[in-house]
Amino acid sequence: MAISRNALVAGNWKMNGVSASLAELKAIAEGVAGGAAGTAACAICLPATLLARGAEIAGQHLLVGGQDCSAETFGAHTGDLAAEMLRDSGASLVIVGHSERRADHGETNAVVRAKAEAAYRAGLTAIICVGETRPQRDAGDALEICGAQLEGSLPPGATPDNTVLAYEPVWAIGTGLVPTVDDVAAMHAFFRAQLKALLPHGGDALRILYGGSVKPDNAESLMRIDNVDGALIGGASLKAKDFLAIASVYA
């Protein structure tokens, strides 16, 4: 590998978590502080209602992030959250363009790009998600679809510091299904070439995560694939034991 990228193991709690769930976050923070993930960076993207308390519990070694932000800076947008508000609550990252938001809220590539730019303005790292549906993969269109999502969603100002790409096949999210090692390798190599072309000065160093049914028993084989620089974990990030078992691939 031409460049060493420090892995990122990120959890996505989605619309899960109330005050009592902070005990799991505390256990994750303690595990990470104790070296469970080696030198890999670890983060949990929390529901916004838990961010401020979560940031305190997370401490020095575990990052916390949001799961979405507005493309706008501030103002009359009832119910939306500005990236700056997430930052003010202790977030250092935010997921943008998760397939659940693309599907449930009609977010287009242009919207996702504007949200990533809002994240940059607030000093947050954007985790930009892309991924194909099952019919798209079956039709042989996965690379083309994901390539177009990446090109449309990635702001020109993306750098390896302010942006992480996450490949999440929609059909692998929450299903227990995962693509083959060869399919993940092909997609991540394709993204790497595209990132180098789009960002001549940073495309080689920008991290590309795999997400979609990452579990303790498949993490090792997925994380060892070339150009897989970490994981975005949904269900398994809700339990400290599972999240730490996955992160321990990097210990």
Give the catalytic positions in this structure.
98, 168
Question: Closer CB to ligand PGA, residue 142 or residue 199?
Answer: 142
The Cα–Cα gap between 164 and 226 comes to 16
Report 199-228 residues binding ligand PGA (CB under 6 A): 211-214
Give phi and psi for 208, each to the nearest 5: -120, 115
The Cα–Cα gap between 63 and 53 comes to 13
233 in contact with ligand PGA (CB under 6 A): yes
179 in contact with ligand PGA (CB under 6 A): no
The SS3 call for residue 172 is helix
Question: Closer CB to ligand PGA, residue 166 or residue 199?
Answer: 166
174 in contact with ligand PGA (CB under 6 A): yes
The Cα–Cα gap between 218 and 60 comes to 28
- For ligand PGA, the binding residue among 46, 158, 223, 232 (CB under 6 A) is 232
Q: Total number of residues binding ligand PGA (CB under 6 A)?
A: 13
168 in contact with ligand PGA (CB under 6 A): yes
Question: Closer CB to ligand PGA, residue 84 or residue 168?
Answer: 168
Give the contact letters, 105-134, x = binds to ligand PGA (CB under 6 A), - = no. Answer: ------------------------------
Query: By 3-state DSSP, what share of the chain in percent is helix, strand and coil, each rounded to 5?
Result: 45, 15, 40
12 in contact with ligand PGA (CB under 6 A): yes
Q: Compute the Cα dihedral for 123, 170, 80, 21 and give only its sign.
A: negative
Alpha-helical segments (H) within 180-239: 181-198, 219-223
Contact 197, 156 (CB under 8 A): no
Question: Closer CB to ligand PGA, residue 44 or residue 62?
Answer: 44
Name the residues that contact ligand PGA, by CB under 6 A. 12, 168, 173-174, 211-214, 232-236
